[in-house]
Amino acid sequence: MISKCISTGSFKNTCRYITQKPGATIILSEGVRSYDYKLMAKDFEMQQQLRPEKQQACFHGVLSFYPGEKPSDEMMEAIVKKYLQDLKIENTQYAVCKHADKAHLHLHIVANLVNNNGQAIKDSWIGLKGKKIAQRLTQEYKLIPALEKKLSLTHLDELRQPELDKYRVYQHITEILPQCRSMAELEKKLLQRGIEVQYKYKGQTQEKQGISFKTGNYCFKGSQVDRKFSYTGLVNTIQLKVTETLQQQQKQAQLLLQTQEKKREKSIGQEQKNELKPTSKIAKEPTRKQNNKPAKLIDAVIKPDLTYDYVPAELLKETEESRKRKRGMRISH
Q: What is the pLDDT of residue 42?
A: 96
Mean pLDDT of 129-142: 93
50 and 114 Cβ atoms separated by less than 8 Å: yes
Q: What is the pLDDT of residue 149?
A: 61
Q: How far apart are the C-alpha atoms of 237 and 332, rounded to whole Å?
A: 128
Angle between helices 37-48 and 11-20 (to 10 degrees): 150
41 or 23, which is more confident? Answer: 41
Give the chain's radius of gyration (CA, Å).
51
C-alpha dihedral sign at 123, 127, 132, 135: positive
The secondary structure element, H or E, covering residue 39 is helix 37-48
Q: In order of start, what are the domains of the chain with their CATH numbers?
A: 2-147 (3.30.930.30), 156-301 (no CATH)
| Residue 120 phi, psi dihedral angles, 5° rounding | -80, 140
∠ CA 73-78-80, rounded to 5°: 95
∠ CA 49-54-60, rounded to 5°: 95
15 and 32 Cβ atoms separated by less than 8 Å: no
Q: How far apart are the C-alpha atoms of 68 and 105, rounded to whole Å?
A: 8
Lowest mean pLDDT among 114-118, 120-124, 156-160, 273-277: 156-160
Flag whether pLDDT at 222 surpasses 70.
Answer: yes
Burial (Cβ within 10 Å: 0-12, 13-18, ≥19) of residue 169: buried
Residues sharing a CB contact under 8 Å with residue 119, sequence separation 6 or more, in sequence order: 51
Cut 0.85: pTM above it: no
Flag whether pLDDT at 305 surpasses 60.
Answer: no
